[in-house]
Amino acid sequence: MATSASIGRYLISTVQDHESPERDPGQVYKEVPASAWAPYRSFALNENGKYRSQWRGHLIRPAGGGGPYILVDTGMGPGPHQHTGRNGELLQSLAAEGVTPPRIDAVVITHCHGDHIGWNVTWAGDRPAATFPNATYYVAAKDWEHYSRPENSNEAFARSVRPLKDLGRLKLMEGEIDIADGIRTLPSNGHTPGHQCVLVRSGGEIGVLTGDLFHNLAQITEQTWCPVFDWNTAMSRASRQSVLGRAQKEGWVVFSGHLPAGLSIGRVVLKHGRPEWLHL
């Protein structure tokens, strides 16, 4: 039931922000009949037949001290959030790891949905400031272009990504980009136009931070299932099958974006010829 794991010289820790309202799988996976959930019900859904997504980021840092300190995704943000009336806890979760915002050197955004960008910017009245004042924020150019079009714009992007440009903190990326030694982006488009994973290679080990490549444990086995949140399901399916296939063949440690705490880090293993999740 791990909430952190080492990849070579790096320690990668989940930093919890908040959790989603309870979700009805029939509403989220509209093309999947209720009966198809039967094999997964006992572990992928709760006793009410529903599930919650965790909203979190991941902190990557060298286990032996020094730098760099990299935050991947920034959760849903300060709140208070409507469904709980409570605030997001990302900064407390970082503090519990002994990390204050100025310590972060880079923020990598897997994609520009509201539950991954919420703490990017802190607003004082109508004045935005970078929450992580010393960080470069890495955003995929394809997402920036998509959400900058008036027909795709939304409040979360306007408040949490767009100001980064004027603040001089934004770095737009195309393709695979090196963030730091052994840490590189892995484009995996489909959930959004610019969705990307983050690969960490160190000491002969490989870890992958998967953002919204999948949302529920059932999708490890049912890799063609797509939630309504996927922008292009043909692309998101292909990306999911490609990255999870490589993870299984090469023994990568997978750090998932939304799985329950304690189950969110694992490996994809073959059992009776089908891929399954084996949490650390």
Choices 13-21, 41-49, 83-91, 210-218; region in contact with Zn ion by CB under 5 A: 210-218
Distance CA 94, CA 259 (A): 19
**Number of chain residues interacting with Zn ion (CB under 5 A):** 2
Residue 19 in contact with Zn ion, rule: CB under 5 A:
no
Closest CA to 161 of 108, 215, 91, 209: 108
Distance CA 56, CA 71 (A): 10
Choices 93-101, 126-134, 148-156, 212-220; region in contact with Zn ion by CB under 5 A: 212-220
Nearer to Zn ion, 13 or 192 (CB): 192
Residue 73 in contact with Zn ion, rule: CB under 5 A:
no
Closest CA to 112 of 139, 150, 77, 75: 139
Nearer to Zn ion, 182 or 211 (CB): 211
CB of 218 to Zn ion, least distance (A): 16
Distance CA 187, CA 80 (A): 32
Distance CA 149, CA 112 (A): 13
Residue 212 in contact with Zn ion, rule: CB under 5 A:
yes
Specify the 3-state DSSP secondary structure of 61.
strand
Choices 125-133, 165-173, 209-217, 262-270; region in contact with Zn ion by CB under 5 A: 209-217
Choices 10-18, 39-47, 114-122, 126-134; region in contact with Zn ion by CB under 5 A: 114-122
With a CB cutoff of 8 Å and minimum separation 6, the contacts of 96 are none
Binding-residue pattern over the window 75 to 104 for Zn ion, x denoting contact by CB under 5 A = ------------------------------
**Could you give phi then psi for residue 65, rounded to 5 degrees?**
95, 175
Binding site for Zn ion (CB under 5 A): 115, 212
